[in-house]
Amino acid sequence: MGLKKVVRPHHEPDYAWSRPHGLVEKPGMYPDEPEAWVYCDKFSYDQGETVSLKVHTTAETFDIEIIRDGYRPETVFTRTGLKGQVCDTPENAYSHGCGWPEALTIHLDAEKWKPGYHLVIIRVKEPNGRDYEREGFFIVKSPSRKTSAKGEADFVLIHATSTMLAYNDWGGANHYRGVSDGYQDDDPSPLSSTQRPIARGMLRIPRNAPRESNGATVAEFGHSPRYPALEYAWYFRYSRHFADAGWATYERPFTVWAEQNGYKVHHLTQSDLHLEPDCLTGYSTAVCVGHDEYWSWEQRDTIDNFVNSGGALARFGGNYIWQVRFDEAMNTQYCYRLPQLDPESESNPTRTTTAWDWPKIGRPGATTVGLTGVMGCYTRYGMASPRSSGGFQVYRPSHWSLEGTDLRYGDNFGAHPINIAAFEVDGCDYTFNKGLPYSTGNDGAPSNLEIIAMCPASFGERDISNGKEPIGAPLREVLGFLEALYENQEMPEYLKDREYGSGMVVSFTKKTGEVFCAGTCEWVVGLIKRDTFTEMITKNVLDRFISRKSS
């Protein structure tokens, strides 16, 4: 969630591993080191289109390798000995783009370029002869997506590119931090450009890289906050936000698991949902995984219309909170967070780039996915529920998604050392009756929502050291944001004086469609670590939605 503090009193803690302590990627930052970056002019292409690669490097020559990534990665394109060029790059490239000239074009003929996720590797030689690499990406879309993808794909995976844009700090800043403020360079940029490279670690990362939670760190008596992903990023020089978003942490592990288990996967981005309202027409099932925190109005329209028309949405992701906007060319994403800062807040309140729960937008996030990040937040992260089980506790064992799992009322699944209920989670306002949880509907959750399993969560971390130790998600930020969100208007009763939320696994039907939502960013960890229960539930959901019996 990560909200920007306004003023830091002298006794309050610093942010954990803030900007001065992390890798800042932009030309000229480290004069004695090689530079090589690449990005494409779009996130996704149709077969027959041309990819334009933009490259900046201090090396005389560079190589390009393109890998169709997944369970069995395949190199599909190579070029070596291409002439390097040092490009002028604006100081505000993070918000306004790099503007680099075209270095190479690739025509995506249908015979060679199959639908899928393509990793673009730029490679140069360091003076000691060692390879120096950075990454870009593009997706090749299926031509059948607007007609019928039956037989070609079991489901389409929607990549959370709006969240990736929010956290991408290449060039020095993102929607969270990086703009100079005279202290920790923690002012956010409300603008994030699509026309720049993706931060190191978001597209490719070693398998042993830690995730954005305290994960396997056992919180013993006297435990101080630890942030393994931030420490790893600092030591090995990855983006401070590498574990917050992107292919390497979320979509790739899910794709690998799915392909390994015989599912045929197509890929689209949130940008495709924004530009092409009919892009899901040919699919029976759409899947979201990981951290899909940011959505535009148009992206939600595409998802809602898909479900209302009989489609199935399987969401294994968490932290559904923010509305964003784009310029017409899709070169810039806007998110001001506070309505008072958005220049269009008064003239166009429904498109204000703030939390979906803001009353003037009139479109609570829970109406789309059943849950909202505003009712969830952090668990097993720093000092936010640090000793929680790391899993979900079952309340409705007879639900179809748990069929064959042998899970009973009160059982936990995905718990430590798996930790699928970690980092950021989504919940809803709820009450208990006769030992079962029920949604109140106060936050827009559907009336037919079934709460299958739950975990505890906190809106943020409380300082336990009187400012001596940094923390990653201060409680004061979320509470301060809620106060600002409801400035000059009555805050809903269910949000007043609230510090705790929940993570949930839920399902509901909407018109002729159906939604399953496992509201946690870390569900994919259960697939990576081959947790029996997480795998069985995932298969139950996918097989029901694509009308396919388990083998």
pLDDT digits (tens, 9 = 90+) for 495-506: 999 999 999 999
If we measure between CA atoms, which residue out of 477, 492, 488, 482 comes closest to residue 429? 492
pLDDT at 225: 80
If we measure between CA atoms, which residue out of 277, 292, 84, 92 comes closest to residue 195? 92
pLDDT digits (tens, 9 = 90+) for 341-355: 999 999 999 999 999
Which segment, 131-135, 462-466, 487-491, is predicted with the most confidence on average? 131-135
pLDDT at 12: 66
In percent, the amount of the chain with pLDDT more than 90 equals: 83
pLDDT digits (tens, 9 = 90+) for 506-542: 999 999 999 999 999 999 999 999 999 999 999 999 9
At residue 43 the predicted structure's pLDDT band, cuts being 50, 70 and 90, is very high
In this predicted structure, the answer to whether residue 20 has a pLDDT above a threshold of 60 is: no
Using CA atoms, how far apart are residues 425 and 505, in angstroms rounded to an integer?
10
- If DSSP codes are grouped into helix, strand and coil, which group holds residue 299? helix
pLDDT at 222: 76
In this predicted structure, the answer to whether residue 22 has a pLDDT above a threshold of 80 is: no
pLDDT at 550: 38
Mean pLDDT of 36-64: 98
pLDDT at 17: 55
Other C-beta atoms within 10 Å of 15: how many?
24
Other C-beta atoms within 10 Å of 248: how many?
23
pLDDT digits (tens, 9 = 90+) for 82-105: 999 999 999 999 999 999 999 999
If we measure between CA atoms, which residue out of 63, 96, 67, 66 comes closest to residue 79? 63
402-408's contacts with Cβ under 8 Å and 24+ in sequence apart are 402/452, 402/537, 402/540, 403/540, 404/536, 404/540, 405/532, 405/533, 405/536, 405/537, 405/540, 407/533
Cβ neighbours of residue 530 under 8 Å, at least 6 residues apart? Answer: none
- For 495, phi then psi, to 5°, come to -100, -15
pLDDT at 472: 86
pLDDT at 143: 92
